[in-house]
Structure 1
Amino acid sequence: MSGTPPSGRQYRIMAGDHEAVVTQVGAGLRQCTLDGRAVLDGFAESERSPDGRGQVLAPFPNRIADGRYTFGGRTCQVAMDEPERGNAIHGMVRWLDWTEVSFTEHDVVLACVLRPQPGYAWELSLQVGYHLDHDGLRVASSATNTGTEPAPFGMGFHPYLGLGAAVDGLEMLVPAGTHSPVPDDRDERPVPVDVTGTPLDFRSGRAVGSTVLDTVFGDLARGADGRAVVHLLDPASAQGVRLWVDESFGYLMVYSGDGVLPVERRRQAVAVEPMTCPPHAFRSGADLVTLAPGESWTGTWGLAAG
């Protein structure tokens, strides 16, 4: 294609049969192939990211009701970029150009400084690094408060796991003991609900079928390494993908793609979104990270075949 792609420079990294493409705009993950097979339903180089595909969500994941919140005596108004539902959505850095820190065959690290503005009155230095090796893809992120006041912070990512088959025919395991419905008053902290005996219990792995998911899961079961692992499997091909999160991510948003556009892309992939906090956390304070001046947060997640 001629000219600059809508998502800016394309960073292609490789390791054996693994390959990923990361974009300059938003430091997003546009494509990922593991063992020679695509495991993401991403987007074309000629497109901008639709439906949040592959995007980095900071300084808040998911949504803020009315785009308005108060922290540290300051009231901020974020742009209402989901006006039909009355929300600000998916943070404030996903359409920004990020700066290259390093780029090799196996790794790319990008950085962004979020300056004080009407929607966020503090200053953050953000960094996201993508690394491929024989185990798969590892995504390491950090945020440092470079300002002079305590700053609110949350982080998320928005990959759509896709195996080339409709969602209804896939099997999924989500190691979550609770889900968190959004309260009627979105200034209140969400009350976790036990998934036992409900259609949202995927702890043992089962067919997705016609289940509609736009769900925040918590109480994640973790292995000895501290990781919680989601497994998506296509029984017809025996191909699968695993998404893991470290202990920095206490929530997973799982979305079955029922509202994506165009219509023919609906329920063709499952968005599994690592998140540090639930929706509207900037209003409710639920699991909101407060970074003191000079303090940093770090978190890691990844993808593996199988």
Structure 2
Amino acid sequence: MIELKAGEARLGLLPDVGGAIAYWRRGGMSFLHPVADPHLVAQRGRAVGGYPLVPFSNRIAHGRFGFEGQEYQLAPNFVGEDNVLHGNGWERRWRLDLLADDSATLELDHEPPGDPVAQWPFAYRALLRFDLRECGLSIGMMIENTDTRDQPVGLGFHPYFPRHNGLRLGFSAQSVWTSDDDHLPSLRVPAQGDWSFEKMRDVGGAAIDNCYAGWTRSAFLRWPRLGMSLTMEASDIFRHLVLYTPPGQPFIAVEPASNMNDAFNRPGVEDGGIHVLPPGGKLEGHVRMTVATC
């Protein structure tokens, strides 16, 4: 465990558990809700408040995709599904590269065949930079193609937020993908009606697990009974937002992502969000979360 400090704010990091955040709090308020998900076996039962999605976000259908004339098969990494979820960065141990009182940089090198090819067939290097402030947290992400061939990639971050105290959520998006029985994109529809969060609304018991497209890279969360709010802002590369509100659970996930769900198998979707990096190419993005009194 690594703990960063900025005034009364504290951030716990778990480099050995996929570069995850253990907690982020200030005084008596926890801004993230640590979750121990038994489906994510590689997290070894540890409760995490958020983790990186590298080298892609969300699902690849049945772990299969084609790229530049070659077919690839990935090993399942989520109990109960044969889809592959969230890349492999969350399955790996990251190295501590730089550390200060209020900041830390973690590094990961994935180098098949020495590292599991079935996790990801291409070599890459990833960096995570955490900067803690009294009233905010910035997360910088970078992936570099260290392979000798082109590589398709995406980036994202998966924070869990507490659902209690009348949590309200607001963000603007153009469209949303409905999902089929395998939790894969089915139909793209306007983000209107029950899909819309244009006007901030109570999350309540809604059951959503869908990917929004064309969001404005800003989302707003408010806990009115606590008099607290949080603003999330993301870099331009994060053109998608996955919203996950499992019924009966004390958390929701609001996940900025560069790629849509199963983008590797959706070449016909113009804004699917897969970035093809040449050898030495890099993709970078930032997520900034600021807290304030309502």
What is the TM-score with the length of structure 1 in the denominator? 0.83
Q: Amino acid of the residue matched to residue 12 of structure 2?
A: V
Unaligned 5+ segments in structure 2 are: 37-42
Which residues in structure 2 correspond to 1:77-88 (within 5 Å)? 77-82=73-78, 84-88=80-84
How far apart are the structure 2 equivalents of 1:49 and 1:229?
Answer: 29
Query: For 1:6-45, what aligned pairs fall within 5 Å after superposition?
Result: 10-24=1-15, 25-34=17-26, 37-43=29-35
Q: Residue in 1 aligned with 2:227?
A: 238
How far did 1:120 drift? 2.6
The change in CA–CA distance for 1:109 and 1:84 in structure 2 (over 3 A counts) is same
Structure 1: where are the runs of 5+ without partners? 1-9, 222-227, 259-265
Matched residue, 2:147: 147
Give runs of aligned pairs for residues 127-276 of structure 1, distance below 5 A.
127-162=127-162, 165=164, 169-182=166-179, 192-196=188-192, 198-221=193-216, 228-258=217-247, 266-276=248-258
The verdict on how the C-alpha distance between 1:84 and 1:134 changes in structure 2, with shifts beyond 3 A counting, is closer
SS where residue 176 of structure 1 aligns? coil
Counterpart CA distance in 1 for 2:119 and 2:28 is 42
Give the secondary-structure state (helix, strand or coil) at the position aligned to 2:198: coil
Shift in alpha-carbon separation, 1:105–1:186, aligned structure 2, 3 A: closer
SS in 2 for 1:61: coil
Give 1:74 shift: 2.4
Shift of 1:96: 1.1
| Shift in CA distance, 36/68, structure 1 to aligned 2, threshold 3 Å | same
**Maintained 8 Å contact 1:34/1:305:** no
Moved more, 116-125 or 200-209: 116-125
1:47 deviates by 6.8
- 2:99 is the counterpart of 1:74: no
Contact 1:76 1:119 in 2 (8 A): no
Q: Secondary structure at the match of 1:253?
A: strand
**Amino acid of the structure 1 residue aligned with 2:22:** R
* Pick aligned residue for 2:96 from 92, 100, 107: 100
CA pair 190-35 structure 1, distance change in 2 beyond 3 A: farther
State the shift of 1:16 in Å: 1.2
Q: Is the 8 A contact 2:168 2:221 kept in 1?
A: yes
Distance, in Å, in 2 between the alignment partners of 1:186 and 1:31 is 28
Q: Is the partner of 1:199 in helix, strand or coil? A: helix
Distance 2:225 2:121 in 1: 50
8 A contact 1:177–1:203 mirrored in 2: no
Q: Does the residue aligned with 2:90 lie in a helix, a strand or coil?
A: coil
**TM-score, scaled relative to structure 2:** 0.86
Post-superposition Cα deviations, 1:126-157, rounded to whole Å, max 9, x if no partner, equal 00010012451000010111111100101111
Residues 20-42 of structure 1: per-residue CA shift (max 9 Å, x gap):
11111211111111465211001
Aligned residues: CA RMSD: 2.4
Contact kept in structure 2, 1:186 and 1:283, CA below 8 Å: no
Residue from 290, 293, 297 that aligns with 2:283:
297
Q: Give the residue type in structure 1 aligned to 2:73.
A: Q
SS of the counterpart of 1:94? helix
Partners of 1:96 and 1:104 in 2: CA distance: 23
Letter in 1 for 2:140: A
Q: What fraction of aligned residue pairs are identical, expressed as a percent? A: 24
In the aligned structure 1, how far is the partner of 2:121 from the partner of 2:224? 49
Task: Give the number of the structure whose residues are more often strand, by fraction.
Answer: 2
